[in-house]
Amino acid sequence: MNDLDVLKVFCAGDGSHGNLLGVVRDGRTCPGGEDRQALAAELGYSETVFVDDPERGIVDIRTPGTRMSFAGHPLVGLAWLLDIEELQPPAGSVWARDDGEFTWITARAEWVEGKRTEQYASPAEVDALPAPPPGEGWLYAWAWEDEAAGRIRARGFPRRPDGIVAEDEATGSAAILLTAQLNRALNITQGAGSQILTAPGPDGTVEIGGRVRFATLPQAARADLRTRAGEGSARR
């Protein structure tokens, strides 16, 4: 499969960090649901996206264990990669724009499923959490770094049965949920240093943005990914 791209979404200002995203640009190379799910599990990213119609923005989002109707970091990454103004995940229409440095999408907090936010007293408490913390369910742990400026320290823990991802480096949907709960614009530092920007809209939507870059993987690792992707498509 020659159409597999790996992106970093929500990078820091110097292009470092960001959450890895697998993108299969031509969904026809892996059309079956079971094959797509198997490929997402083999690649092991928090999400892998299959583009079924690049002109209309119709996409299929998969975690290693399930299909998702909406996810933030895959759609920000796709908006940057496809340079498209509208994306169509199963949840509904997602508008996108690019301001030269950041790529933005507009979505609704009610599309975010199965995630819980929990406030901690300080960034140090968030940093001290083990990965993952004890408990069940998707946890977005956060604390104010500077409440007046809207700056937040956060970490995301999927705590999914597959156990592939112990900690999510940058989670767009959880940031959307938190923005809706606080009803204010946020500048979030998540994981090892990823940056997420958000702003609530007047109609109940939330705009979320970040920097996107192609991931620079060792040649051997990139070849291995393409081999595994090819094996996945061959199973159909």
- Give the domain ranges of the chain: 4-105+213-234, 111-210
Note whether 4-105+213-234 and 111-210 share their fold. yes
Task: Say yes or no to pLDDT of 236 above 50.
Answer: no
Identify the burial level of 226 via C-beta atoms within 10 angstroms of its C-beta, where 0-12 means exposed, 13-18 middle and 19 or more buried.
middle
Task: Say yes or no to pLDDT of 109 above 80.
Answer: yes
Per residue in 137-184, pLDDT (tens digit) is 999 999 999 999 999 999 999 998 877 889 999 999 999 999 999 999
Query: Which CATH architecture describes the domain 4-105+213-234?
Result: Roll (3.10)
Q: Is the pTM of this model over 0.85?
A: yes
Residue 154's closest CA among 199, 185, 187, 107?
Answer: 187
219: pLDDT confidence band, cut at 50, 70 and 90?
Answer: low
CATH topology of domain 111-210: Diaminopimelate Epimerase; Chain A, domain 1 (3.10.310)
DSSP string, 208-220: EEEEEEE----HH
Residue 174's closest CA among 231, 214, 114, 84?
Answer: 114
pLDDT of residue 226: 59
